[in-house]
Every structure is written in C-alpha cells, then in structure tokens.
Amino acid sequence: MPRAGDATALASFLERGRTSGESASRLANEALRAIRNHLGMDVAFISELTSTERVFRYVDADDADCPVEVGGAGPLGGQLLPARR
C-alpha cells in the first residue's frame, strides 16, 4: 500500500493494474476500502478539484445512504451536492 505523499509508491501501485490486468479504477476502489477500514472512517473518497468545485471520482462508504457519491459535487469549501445525472 502506498504511503501518503509518496508519488512513486502510488505510481507503482497503479502500475500493478496494468501488469495484472486489473483496472486502475478497481485498484483505486480497493485502496479506498482498505484505507477507510484501517482508519475506521465512515467514508473515503478521491475527488477532482476544478476551479469552482470538488467532484467525487471514487467513493467508498460504510453506509449506502452516504451523501457522498461518485459524480457528486460541491463548491470548494462548501457543503455536498447530489450527483449530477
């Protein structure tokens, strides 16, 4: 598992997907679940920051009713918005 801030370790982890046939998306979801469980968090996510908002790209949550979902967005520093459909 990559350490925080270690870009080389992260690249190596994602490269595993290319060499093992696993998709980077599947590996990202597996990593989020492992991190969330290890830290005892309710939700873990990877988001993209645009000039105006945060867009959730990968989400792993303990609760199916979690307001954070893939495709959801919220203003930077603001509250969460539902996924765009």
Per-residue pLDDT, 19? 65
C-alpha 83/C-alpha 85 separation (Å) is 6
pLDDT tens sequence across 36-63:
888 889 999 999 988 888 999 999 998 8
Return the pLDDT at 34.
87
DSSP, residue by residue, 7-56: HHHHHHHHHHHHHHS--HHHHHHHHHHHHHHHHT-SEEEEEEE-SSEEEE
- pLDDT for 45: 92
Is-contact 43 50, C-beta < 8 A?
no
pLDDT digit string, tens, across residues 2-36: 444 555 655 666 666 666 666 778 888 888 888 88
pLDDT score for 12: 67
